[in-house]
Copies of this chain bind each other. A is one copy, B any other.
Amino acid sequence: MSPVDPLHCRLAEAILFASAEPVSLKALSQRLPEGADVAAVVSDLEAAYRDRGVNLVRIGDAVAFRTASDLAALMTEEKQVQRRLSRAALETLAIIAYHQPVTRAEIETIRGVHLSRGTLDTLFDLGWIRPKGRRAVPGRPVTWATTTAFLDHFGLAGLDELPGVDDLKAAGLLDARPAIQVYGEGREGDEDGCLDQGSP
């Protein structure tokens, strides 16, 4: 392990500890003295806190101190009353997370039902999804993707940590196209639409 300046370590520790929000590595390096090795500092802290009650976790390209997830059951007194996600909202969130970027129509294709008005709105309100560019198809529909806040909420360092994502990919199930295009001969403009469209 590289000899990390203890002052840099302590300072980074203080900065990260003081913040409730994840701090990006870029922001952290701006706040450390010139020439500080941010990557090494973060690795050191990660190791130092690995077995403690508070861990340093990575969230996308940011880091944050969070209470250890294995203490979850013992921390229940802190539990706040949180609105439960509806089945539709959870499934929609999962589709956006696993298939991103994904259009509204693709979400409907996969779930086989029309997406009700409030569903995207709810996820958007929670700060978990955001519009991300447009798909280069007729109508140029907006595509949706997840946010850093989503990763933070579910304790994921990145999208590749999504549970089961490798299995889904290996099974070819991370394809948001209508099934007949995935499986069939790739015919376009088919009329057997009831299979393929969420809302016939």
Beta-carbon contact of B17 and A67 below 8 Å: yes
Q: Which of B11, B12, B67 contacts A14 (CB 8 A)?
A: B67
Shortest beta-carbon distance from A117 to chain B in Å: 4
Interface residues of A in 144-184 (CB under 8 A from B): 155, 157, 160-161, 163-164, 167, 170-173, 175
Nearest-CB residue, chain B, relative to A118 = B172
B-chain residues with CB within 8 Å of residue A118 when the two chains form the complex: 172
B-chain residues with CB within 8 Å of residue A77 when the two chains form the complex: 31
Instruction: Kindly state the separation between the CA atoms of A163 and B141 in the bound complex, as whole angstroms.
Output: 9
Interface residues of A in 102-150 (CB under 8 A from B): 104, 117-118, 120-121, 124, 130-134, 142
Closest 4 CB pairs of A and B: A13-B53, A10-B53, A14-B53, A121-B172
A-B contact pairs, 10 of them (CB 8 A): A10-B51, A10-B52, A11-B53, A14-B54, A14-B68, A31-B78, A117-B172, A121-B172, A131-B167, A133-B161
